[in-house]
């Protein structure tokens, strides 16, 4: 399949479209990390004392921890003194009061990325929080949402305007001591999104945050906290990109979700950080801790992720199934091409009775890419009647890539049921030939086959994101007919 | 329309086609028969452009162009259709999506406007009725979990939608019971036209009772060893391939010359 292979290669070699740099004046603090840095960040953000204290405790904890080495990824040690921990676009006086006051250069940047912030211009039904380097530059539809008691704002605003909620929930799902990068994030996090859906409210639109790293040498440490009270429902989307740079940049986020009784949170991510070039130079290190807590009975948390970017991805969106009859879901597509390394998966911790979880993971490896699924399903002694279904499929394109699967299953309850299925396949020459004999180009044929492979995950994404995900994987819209 | 001259091809270093000569004109239906391993399927794969086969010599002229230089998808768009002996499954890709992508690819090539979803559905539903396929097959993954007969019907459906100039049917009758065979053959017969040529590859005479060919060629050991009219197929049925192999006639008879 020589010529088809060449065509697949050129298709996989497409440029990273979001790789541009925005020329904008930036307010940065000096490189390096110390207690002073944390004071500086907290001061810049005008935070209350409890927040500074919390950060410092996390920092002191971090100093006692070591960089984890168990993941199947390799990279040179990160020099934590060589990172800028706070970078923000310069703004006049007190910060923009409305969109009209936001630097037009920033608006243009987000527009170029396909995230227009003008509410009029947006498709109805999606509210956006745009985060540029360390700060949120704009959040749309806040007023309309507030009418129903929904709080959707940047994390900084939440700390100032709703400190009691932040204090109650921050770190309650991912404590600072959880892991090395969670501790680091807790010490230096700059901004992120905050969502609060009050009791019984069904959020009327998709909420979305778009993360953009722009400044050189900076790391992005964002913090997201989503709380759905009893019976509340919300669907939240997250997108991310970064310029093409030769150095590696660090992105270490923490996301916490809390679902109280009967609440439902759907969290979708399309991650398109700069993956580095074909020789593995540059790219984002994406070391993220994402965890949801099904605290109440009959609550539900679903993670859907499409991971196409980053030089290294290290993340395991997980669900703690505490409430009886609660449901955890994880749908993932991870693509690693060139020299990309992805070690991703999930943890489903069953604690309540009759809790259910589903894991569908699709790994695609191409070029010299390495793709690892790592999963943990734990059935605690109290998880009477709990069930899990795991399906883990790998698709290999070419003969230099790798796919690994490390599932761990711990069952301490005899009534719990766990199913695990795994497949690995190569993109088949006969599938390509068949599609091309029907007049499809090699490129279209590959995208179609890959898209078909990912379908079970894509169908979990909200419509708008499904389109973006398919385009990212290089696909014209499957399912536009019928 | 199609001129094959002294075509030689091998796979994995093993010579399969040892000099095929065949001339096909618009409107003609040629049957190619032969025992297992004679090179029937290789011929169809080489014409469609499968890269695992190596062409070692000879020429193929298709509508005045050098077919062997054309990429797979160009051959398809220019009107060559291969109905597969073993249609391939593509999980997760709906038949509707696949068919629409194929139809519009070919239409673009022919300078016709692409069909939108509504027009496409109207067209495909009509054609499905003609080959006796239920509408649910539109929304199932391409060939996945289809029975043998359903897969073959799906091939005929694709053929009728793509309106090829040359249809190559590779053992379309294999694995079909008599009812399925009749439905598939009816579908193919509907597509016979003065503008369209067909090459029907089959092991058994049975299919030719339904699809009556203008010419019959017998392939043995990579060469066409005998050519004739419909009655040649009947002779074969009666006397078996051994008869041809034991008494090979002149090497490669041009299609127009009858063996009798």
Residues in chain A with CB shorter than 8 Å from the CB of B81 are 437
Q: Give the residue from B205, B182, B154 showing the smallest Cα distance to B31.
A: B205
Cβ atoms of A295 and A323 closer than 8 Å = yes
DSSP letters of chain B? -EEEEEEEEEETTEEEEEEEEEEE-TT-EEEEE--TTSSHHHHHHHHHT-TTEEEEEEEEEETTEEGGGS-HHHHHHTTEEEE-SSPPPEEEEEHHHHHHHHHHHHHHHTTPPPP-HHHHHHHHHHHHHHTT--GGGGTSEETTT--HHHHHHHHHHHHHHH--SEEEEESTTTT--HHHHHHHHHHHHHT-BTTBEEEEEESSTHHHHHS--SEEEEEETTEEEEEE-HHHHHHHHHH-HHHHHHS--SS---TTS---
- Backbone phi, then psi, for A439, in 5-degree steps? 100, 0
Residue with tokens 């090979």: B248
Cα separation values, A128 from A116, A146, A291, Å = 9, 14, 22
B137 lies within 8 A of chain A by CB: no
Dist CA A326 CA A322 (whole Å): 7
Contact A479 B141 (CB under 8 A): no
Residue with tokens 């559905």: B121
Q: Order of strands across the sheet with B223-228? A: B80-83, B166-170, B197-202, B29-33, B215-220, B223-228
ipTM of model over 0.85: yes
The beta-carbon neighbor of A433 closest among B72, B121, B141 is B72
Task: Give the residue, B187 or A166, on which the prediction is more confident.
Answer: A166
Dist CA B89 CA B141 (whole Å): 8
Give the per-residue pLDDT at A395.
Answer: 86
Contact B97 A455 (CB under 8 A): no
Please, what is the end-to-end C-alpha distance for chain B in angstroms?
A: 25
Cβ atoms of A324 and A295 closer than 8 Å = no
B100 lies within 8 A of chain A by CB: yes
Strands A417-426 and B14-24: unpaired
A443 lies within 8 A of chain B by CB: no
Give the per-residue pLDDT at A358.
Answer: 96
Residues in chain B with CB shorter than 8 Å from the CB of A448 are 90, 93, 97-98, 101
Q: What is the DSSP letter of A377?
A: E
Q: Give the residue from A12, A130, A75, A21 showing the smallest Cα distance to A313.
A: A75
With a cut of 60, say whether residue B78 has pLDDT above it.
Answer: yes
How many Cα atoms within 13 Å fall on the side-chain side of residue A94? Answer: 3
The Cα of B154 is separated from the nearest Cα of chain A by a number of Å equal to: 13
At B187, is the pLDDT very low, low, confident or very high (cuts 50, 70, 90)?
confident
SS3 A199: coil
Helix (H) or strand (E) holding A144: helix A142-146
Dist CA A237 CA A364 (whole Å): 22
* Residue numbers of the domain that contains B10: 2-258
Dist CA A451 CA A449 (whole Å): 5
A470 lies within 8 A of chain B by CB: no
Residues in chain A with CB shorter than 8 Å from the CB of B117 are 480-482
Closest chain A CA to residue B119: A481
- pLDDT per residue, tens digit, chain A (482 aa), is 344 445 445 555 556 666 667 776 777 788 888 999 999 999 988 899 999 999 999 999 999 998 888 878 788 888 888 888 887 776 644 445 566 666 777 677 666 666 666 654 444 456 777 777 666 766 777 888 899 999 998 898 899 999 999 999 999 999 999 999 999 999 999 888 899 999 999 998 888 887 776 666 667 888 999 999 999 999 998 876 666 666 677 888 999 999 999 999 999 888 777 777 777 677 778 889 999 999 999 999 999 988 877 778 888 999 999 999 999 999 998 888 778 888 889 999 999 999 999 999 998 888 788 888 999 999 999 999 999 999 999 888 877 888 888 999 999 999 999 999 888 877 778 898 999 999 998 878 888 888 888 888 888 877 666 666 666 665 322 222 22
Give the per-residue pLDDT at B251.
Answer: 44
Q: Give the residue from A232, A222, A290, A298 showing the smallest Cα distance to A265.
A: A232
With a cut of 80, say whether residue B14 has pLDDT above it.
Answer: yes
Residue with tokens 């309850």: A413
Q: Which of A437, A453, A457, A479 to mutate to test the interface with B (most CBs of B within 10 A)?
A: A437
Dist CA A193 CA A157 (whole Å): 9
The two tokens of residue A409 are 């299953």
Give the per-residue pLDDT at A479.
Answer: 26
Burial class (CB in 10 A: 0-12, 13-18, 19+), B164: buried
Contact A480 B138 (CB under 8 A): no
Residues in chain B with CB shorter than 8 Å from the CB of A440 are 73, 101-102, 105
The beta-carbon neighbor of B51 closest among A4, A439, A452 is A4
With b for 16 or more beta-carbon neighbours within 10 A and e for fewer, the A311-343 pattern comes to bbbbbbbbbbbbbbbbbbbbbbbbbbbbbbbbb
Residues in chain B with CB shorter than 8 Å from the CB of A2 are 51
Cα separation values, A366 from A47, A157, A314, A428, A432, Å = 45, 42, 18, 14, 16
Task: Give the residue, B91 or A135, on which the prediction is more confident.
Answer: B91
B71 lies within 8 A of chain A by CB: yes
Give the per-residue pLDDT at A241.
Answer: 64
The beta-carbon neighbor of B92 closest among A437, A439, A452 is A452
A4 lies within 8 A of chain B by CB: yes
A423 lies within 8 A of chain B by CB: no
Total domains in the fold of chain B:
1
SS3 A421: strand
SS3 A364: strand
With a cut of 90, say whether residue B102 has pLDDT above it.
Answer: yes
Residues in chain B with CB shorter than 8 Å from the CB of A434 are 84, 87-88, 90
Closest chain A CA to residue B164: A438
Contact B117 A442 (CB under 8 A): no
Contact B105 A431 (CB under 8 A): no
Contact A439 B77 (CB under 8 A): yes
The Cα of B41 is separated from the nearest Cα of chain A by a number of Å equal to: 14
- Number of A/B CB contacts below 8 angstroms equals 105
pTM, rounded to two decimals: 0.78
How many Cα atoms within 13 Å fall on the side-chain side of residue A361? Answer: 31
Give the per-residue pLDDT at B247.
Answer: 54
SS3 A306: strand
Residues in chain A with CB shorter than 8 Å from the CB of B49 are 437
Contact A452 B91 (CB under 8 A): yes
Cβ atoms of B194 and B26 closer than 8 Å = yes
The Cα of A73 is separated from the nearest Cα of chain B by a number of Å equal to: 30
The beta-carbon neighbor of B72 closest among A437, A454, A478 is A437
Dist CA A446 CA A454 (whole Å): 12
With a cut of 70, say whether residue B258 has pLDDT above it.
Answer: no
CATH code for the domain in which residue B117 is found? 3.40.50.300
A444 lies within 8 A of chain B by CB: yes
């Amino acid at each position: 399949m020589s010529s088809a292979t060449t065509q697949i290669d050129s298709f996989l070699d497409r440029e990273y479209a979001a790789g541009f740099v925005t020329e904008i004046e930036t307010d940065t603090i000096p490189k390096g990390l110390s207690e002073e840095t944390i004071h500086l960040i907290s001061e810049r953000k005008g935070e209350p004392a409890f927040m500074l204290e919390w950060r410092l405790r996390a920092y002191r904890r971090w100093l006692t921890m070591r960089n984890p080495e168990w993941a199947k990824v390799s990279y040179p040690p990160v020099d934590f003194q060589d990172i800028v921990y706070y970078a923000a676009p310069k703004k006049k006086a007190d910060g923009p009061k409305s969109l009209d006051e936001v630097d037009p250069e920033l608006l243009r940047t987000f527009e170029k990325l396909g995230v227009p912030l003008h509410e009029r211009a947006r498709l109805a039904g999606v509210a956006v929080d745009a985060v540029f380097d360390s700060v949120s530059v704009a959040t749309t539809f806040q007023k309309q949402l507030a009418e129903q008691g929904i709080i959707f704002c940047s994390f900084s605003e939440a700390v100032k305007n709703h400190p009691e909620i932040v204090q109650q929930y921050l770190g309650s799902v991912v404590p600072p001591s959880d892991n090395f990068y969670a501790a680091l994030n807790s010490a230096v996090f700059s901004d992120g999104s905050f969502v609060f859906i009050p009791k019984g409210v069904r959020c009327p639109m998709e909420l979305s945050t778009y993360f953009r790293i722009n400044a050189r040498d900076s790391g992005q440490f964002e913090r997201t906290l989503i709380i759905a009270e009893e019976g509340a429902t919300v669907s939240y989307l997250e997108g991310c990109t970064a310029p093409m740079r030769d150095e590696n940049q660090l992105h270490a986020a923490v996301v916490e979700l809390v679902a109280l009784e009967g609440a439902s949170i759907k969290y979708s991510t399309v991650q398109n950080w700069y993956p580095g070039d074909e020789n593995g130079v540059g790219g984002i290190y994406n070391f993220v801790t994402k965890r949801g807590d099904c605290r109440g009975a009959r609550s539900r948390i679903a993670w859907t992720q499409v991971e196409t970017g980053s030089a290294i991805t290290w993340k395991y969106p997980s669900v703690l199934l505490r409430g009886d009859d609660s449901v955890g879901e994880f749908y993932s597509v991870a693509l690693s091409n060139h020299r990309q390394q992805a070690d991703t998966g999930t943890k489903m911790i069953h604690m309540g009775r009759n809790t259910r979880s589903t894991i569908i993971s699709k790994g695609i490896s191409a070029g010299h890419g390495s793709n690892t699924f790592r999963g943990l399903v734990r059935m605690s002694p109290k998880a009477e009647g709990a069930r899990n279904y795991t399906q883990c499929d790998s698709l290999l394109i070419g003969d230099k890539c790798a796919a690994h699967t490390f599932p761990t299953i711990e069952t301490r309850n005899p009534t719990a049921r766990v199913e695990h299925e795994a497949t690995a396949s190569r993109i088949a020459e006969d599938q390509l030939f068949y599609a091309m004999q029907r007049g499809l180009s090699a490129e279209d044929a590959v995208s179609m086959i890959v898209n078909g492979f990912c379908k079970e995950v894509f169908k979990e994404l909200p419509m708008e994101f499904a389109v973006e995900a398919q385009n990212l994987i290089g696909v014209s819209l499957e399912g536009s007919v019928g | 329309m199609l001129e094959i001259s002294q075509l030689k091809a091998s796979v994995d270093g093993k010579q399969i086609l040892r000099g095929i000569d065949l001339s096909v004109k618009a409107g003609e239906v040629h049957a190619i028969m032969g025992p297992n391993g004679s090179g029937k399927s290789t011929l169809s794969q080489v014409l469609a452009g499968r890269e695992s086969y190596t062409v070692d010599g000879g020429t193929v002229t298709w509508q005045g162009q050098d077919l062997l230089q054309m990429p797979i998808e160009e051959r398809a768009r220019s009107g060559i259709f291969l109905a597969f002996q073993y249609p391939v499954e593509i999980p997760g890709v709906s038949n509707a999506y696949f068919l629409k992508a194929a139809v519009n690819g070919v239409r673009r090539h022919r300078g016709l406007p692409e069909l939108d979803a509504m027009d496409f559905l109207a067209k495909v539903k009509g054609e499905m009725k003609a080959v006796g396929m239920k509408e649910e097959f539109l929304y199932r993954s391409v060939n996945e979990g289809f029975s043998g007969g359903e897969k073959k019907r799906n091939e005929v459906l694709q053929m009728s939608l793509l309106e090829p100039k040359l249809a190559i049917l590779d053992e379309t009758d294999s694995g079909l019971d008599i009812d399925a065979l009749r439905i598939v053959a009816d579908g193919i017969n509907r597509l016979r036209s003065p503008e369209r040529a067909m090459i029907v590859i089959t092991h058994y005479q049975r299919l030719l009772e339904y699809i009556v060919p203008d010419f019959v060629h017998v392939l043995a050991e990579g060469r066409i060893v005998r050519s004739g009219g419909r009655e040649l197929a009947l002779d074969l049925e009666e006397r078996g391939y051994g008869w041809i192999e034991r008494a090979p006639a002149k090497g490669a008879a041009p299609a127009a010359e009858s063996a009798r």
